[in-house]
Amino acid sequence: MSEVTLIRVFVRGPRDRNDVFHANGTLRADMAERAIGGNPVPLVADARGMTASDMQGIAASYGHESAFVLPSERGCDWRLRFFVPQHEMEMCGHATVGTLWALRQWGEWTQPTATIETLSGVVLARWDEAEQRVWISQPEVRLDTLSPSDSARVATQLGLPADGYAAVNASTSRVKTLIELPSVEALDGLTPDFGTMASLCESIGSTGLYPYAFGGVRQDGKRIVHARQFPKSSGYPEDAATGIAAAALWGYLARRDTRGQSPLASIAVWQGDTMGSPSEILVAPRHSELGEPAGCWLSGNVAWSHP
């Protein structure tokens, strides 16, 4: 069996602590050593010779999204495959960020940019030397507003009253269903019906529900949006940090709040608090060489996961 390295991606301190970051938002070294929060990623740096069954077995044994590095078949720097306990995924944002960060630490990635082959397409990556972070690209969002009856079903699935909520399917890589709540307290108090989550998501063409609520503002001015993710059939009921869902949320808010006139400013998506694994996903606008909006960049703090 190939060697597995554990990392934690999108790590953040608790909501009531402001002393875990430097002024520029990077994690303090002593906090990184304790690997506060974030989403764990079992990572295999050389998955050559492994079968899909082998890879899924590792994901099942750890109970988390797992990443596997392979030579690219399309001329990219690397090919990444992602597995959860139940199946393979086309794309996993936090696992991509974490894998590239680890490759940087190991000296395997030394250039300022990289291209990554995934089942969802080619992902662009850049290294932020100043903040020691990886940023990965996500394309323009695709949106599909759900009918009032389906929105009511989503609300009921989350333990909310059926009336008064509008849900939207949004995707940059995989479809997530967004639903805005009036407060962080309402978000924290959700009581989803996990027994029928898969069938509900299947019926609306979604891979997971992503309720969210607006919060405060970081010291650097980034707006905080709190969120939770309840996947359709990953093999666990809730996800501590979901990069592609945060990207879809940013894309939706950019369309809704600016009506396409100008890109939304960067945001910080806070997730995982109710799981005891606080996470922060940074999302920033991305532009083409001509200066046109071209989706977004995803980033966040990464740390080695210690037993």
Q: How confident is the model at residue 263 (pLDDT cuts 50, 70, 90)?
A: low
Alpha carbon distance 130, 94 (integer Å): 20
Q: Is 25 left (phi over 0), alpha (psi -120 to 50) or beta?
A: left
22 or 100, which is more confident?
A: 100
Residues in contact with 70: Cβ distance below 8 Å, sequence separation at least 6, in sequence order: 47, 48, 78, 79, 80, 81
Would residue 65 show up in a list of annotated catalytic residues for this protein? yes
Determine the average pLDDT of the residues in 50-62: 97
Does 20 have pLDDT greater than 50?
no
Is residue 104 a contact partner of residue 134, using CB atoms and an 8 Å limit? Answer: yes
* Segment among 5-9, 30-34, 105-109, 134-138 with least mean pLDDT: 30-34
Q: How confident is the model at residue 19 (pLDDT cuts 50, 70, 90)?
A: very low
Q: What pLDDT, on the 0 to 100 scale, is given for residue 167?
A: 99
Name the one residue in this structure whose structure tokens are 């940023």: 135
Name which CATH class applies to 142-297. Answer: alpha beta
Does 295 have pLDDT greater than 50?
yes
Region(s) of the chain under CATH 3.10.310.10: 5-133, 142-297
Pair of tokens at residue 305: 């996961």
pLDDT digits (tens, 9 = 90+) for 198-230: 999 999 999 999 999 999 999 999 999 999 999
Instruction: Count the neighbouring beta carbons within 10 Å of the beta carbon of residue 119.
Output: 13
Name the pTM for this structure. 0.91
Q: What pLDDT, on the 0 to 100 scale, is given for residue 235?
A: 87
pLDDT digits (tens, 9 = 90+) for 152-198: 999 999 999 999 999 999 999 999 999 999 999 999 999 999 999 99
Q: How confident is the model at residue 284 (pLDDT cuts 50, 70, 90)?
A: very high
Of 65, 117, 180, 238, which is the active-site residue? 65
Q: Is domain 5-133 annotated with CATH 3.10.310.10? A: yes
Q: What is the mean pLDDT of the chain?
A: 92
Q: What pLDDT, on the 0 to 100 scale, is given for residue 1?
A: 47
Q: What pLDDT, on the 0 to 100 scale, is given for residue 306?
A: 73
Q: What pLDDT, on the 0 to 100 scale, is given for residue 14?
A: 78
pLDDT digits (tens, 9 = 90+) for 113-125: 999 999 999 999 9
